[in-house]
Amino acid sequence: MQMGYLAAYEDGGIKVKSKLSKMDTLERVALGFSVSILIVAGIYWVGQINSVMELLKMAYG
């Protein structure tokens, strides 16, 4: 998988930089916020579905 652009150094060595370091502040904040939303929403809805399943088990066995 291609990781991003190759940065050339004076000694001729090259270093592969990940795409993350190419992002500016707003992009990093947006990515962080988005991932946080997905994690929190995922936890919330899995919890809610589990509660509903428990109620159904109690009601119908």
Partner 1 sequence: MELLPFFEWMEASLLGTLGKTYGGVYAIGQSLHLMALALLGGTVLVTDLRLLNVILRDVPSEVVADSAHRWFKVAVAAIMATGIFMAAAVALRMYYNEFFWAKMIALFVGILFVFGIKRPLLRRTHAEINPIVLKSVAIASIVLWFSVAATGRWIGFS
* Nearest approach, Cβ of residue 4 and partner 1 (Å): 10
Q: Give SS3 for 11.
A: coil
Q: Looking at 8, 31, 43, 56, which residue binds partner 1 (CB under 8 A)? A: 31
DSSP-based three-state secondary structure for 14 = strand
| x/- track of binding to partner 1 for residues 38-57 (CB under 8 A) | x--x--xx------------
For residues 23 and 31, the answer to whether their CB atoms sit within 8 Å is yes
Output 2 or 9, the one with its CB closest to partner 1. Answer: 2
The rounded distance, in Å, linking the Cα atoms of 10 and 12 is 5
Is residue 7 a contact residue for partner 1 (CB under 8 A)?
no
